[in-house]
Amino acid sequence: MKIHHIAAAAALPLACAGAGAQSSVTLFGVVDVNTRYVKNSDLPGNLTMGSGGHSSGRFGLRGMEDLGTGLKAGFWLESDLYADRGAIHSSGRLFQRRSTISLMGSFGEVRLGRDLSPATAHTYKYDPFGVIGLAGSATASRMPDAFSTYYRSDNAFQYITPQMLGGLQAELMFAPDENPSNNVGRHAAARLFYENGPLSLSLSYGTTNANAAGTKFKQYGAGASYDFGFAKLIGHFQREDLPYGVYGGNTLGAEDRWLLGMTAPLRVGYLRASYVRTDSRQGPAIFNGSDANQYAIGYVYDMSRRTALYATVARITNKGAAHFSLGSGAPGLAAGGSSTGAEFGIRHNF
């Protein structure tokens, strides 16, 4: 394929630069486009085209150089790609998804730059829908949209340990705010995880300074999955605490989210399903009992190793003052309303 020639051509100067050093550079990406229909309570239905229903659209470059004596250097540059309109992330950042450089060896990995936080790893690692698309678990949450650093942090120092005790690892992150006048946005997180055969377990904790007074937005996570062969059971819990009114007069308060899900292989492709429960635990009286339930089921049909068709249906039911809706629905869903939708798309990896 042409992509292999591009990778080889990009790697050639690096390979020649070091005496005996082994280098590689790879161009990779995902193109994902879907059609979605969403109906919010008694509002008009809405038909849209979008990107990232199965996998987030992206393109990037990653590379590795063997420095000898067990030491390696690597880089990873990754950008969003919205193929439905040929756009990158709305922030204008070219490598918004990841921009890191690393040193790796028997000691583990030291990684510097913009990357995903360990504090929110459970929300996508233990979600059959990968926290994206019509049925991603983030749909029924106020938190991701409130913090630009919810998933990723700039200027981050990371350390990832080597595997210990047959599959146990830890990852640590610290992202300074780089502002001498206050420490808004300063983030620290850690995750302990265990991967061994069909079993996966994970615990995480993170804090972010929400204001100049240093008030903490705290995150607690736990996730697990077990692959029985005929099906994989998946679950996670995410607790997020923010004292009411300290973040720009927001109405966030605090939230608990539970997810129970599964994937099941078929002869060609696989089924996936999830149930998400969101509980509002803090805030003004109007938010008491402002909870939501989200149900989803989908099918992925693998046309080849790199290309798949997918279909998903989902529904959210709200209680109290909650008004979560599936993406692309008509705006203005009333508190306590419901949102129902379906999407069909195609995804290609390269």
Q: What are the pLDDT digits (tens) for 107-142?
A: 999 999 999 999 999 999 999 999 999 999 999 988
Cα 180 from Cα 182, distance rounded (Å): 6
Closest CA to 348 of 308, 313, 296: 308
- Provide the pLDDT confidence category of residue 246 given band limits of 50, 70 and 90: low
Cα 329 from Cα 44, distance rounded (Å): 8
Q: What are the pLDDT digits (tens) for 22-70?
A: 899 999 999 999 999 999 999 999 999 999 999 999 999 999 999 999 9
CA angle, 122 then 115 then 117, to 5°: 30
Cα 49 from Cα 52, distance rounded (Å): 10
Closest CA to 195 of 112, 121, 114, 104: 121
Which residue type sits at 89?
Answer: H
CB 150 within 8 A of CB 170: no
